[in-house]
């Protein structure tokens, strides 16, 4: 992967967006590629995924009692919008679901104002 970080990330930035031309701005892409090209950074990023088996075990135990506090689930229509809300309802009793239309995985990059408005409305 060393030296090919940008190529790897382009796949995620483009394929997980509703419109690959409007996911992450070029300046952000360049910054992420530069940061992750530093020694050890990709390994640290991928470590998140290596923890999935332990996370699943923890979630199974923790989900025995549902969360009583309000939970906001925001998802992009073109990504996992509806699924995210369904998952949250399995572990929480007071769930607000917001599905952003014509939006992929990159909520803040694709729909920053709508995402901020949903969070602000939820908090007030």
pLDDT in tens, 83-93: 999 999 999 99
pLDDT digits (tens, 9 = 90+) for 10-59: 998 999 999 888 788 899 999 999 999 999 888 888 888 888 888 889 98
* Confidence bin at 62 (pLDDT 50/70/90): confident
- Percentage of the chain modeled with pLDDT above 70: 100
The predicted pLDDT at position 47 comes to: 86
Mean pLDDT of 106-110: 93
Residues contacting 100, CB < 8 A, separation 6+:
74, 75, 76, 77, 81, 107, 110, 111, 114, 115, 118
pLDDT band at 71 (very low <50, low <70, confident <90, very high): very high
In this predicted structure, the answer to whether residue 1 has a pLDDT above a threshold of 80 is no
pLDDT at 76: 95
pLDDT at 45: 80
pLDDT, the chain, mean? 91
């Amino acid at each position: 992967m060393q030296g090919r970080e940008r190529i790897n990330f382009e796949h995620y930035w483009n394929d997980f967006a509703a419109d690959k031309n409007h996911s992450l701005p070029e300046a952000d892409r360049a910054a992420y590629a530069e940061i992750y090209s530093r020694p050890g950074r990709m390994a640290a990023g991928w470590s998140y995924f290596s923890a999935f088996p332990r996370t699943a075990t923890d979630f199974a135990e923790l989900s025995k009692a549902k969360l009583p506090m309000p939970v906001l689930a925001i998802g992009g229509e073109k990504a996992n919008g509806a699924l995210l809300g369904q998952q949250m309802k399995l572990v929480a009793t007071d769930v607000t679901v917001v599905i952003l239309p014509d939006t992929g995985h990159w909520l803040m990059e694709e729909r920053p104002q709508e995402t901020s408005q949903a969070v602000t409305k939820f908090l007030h």
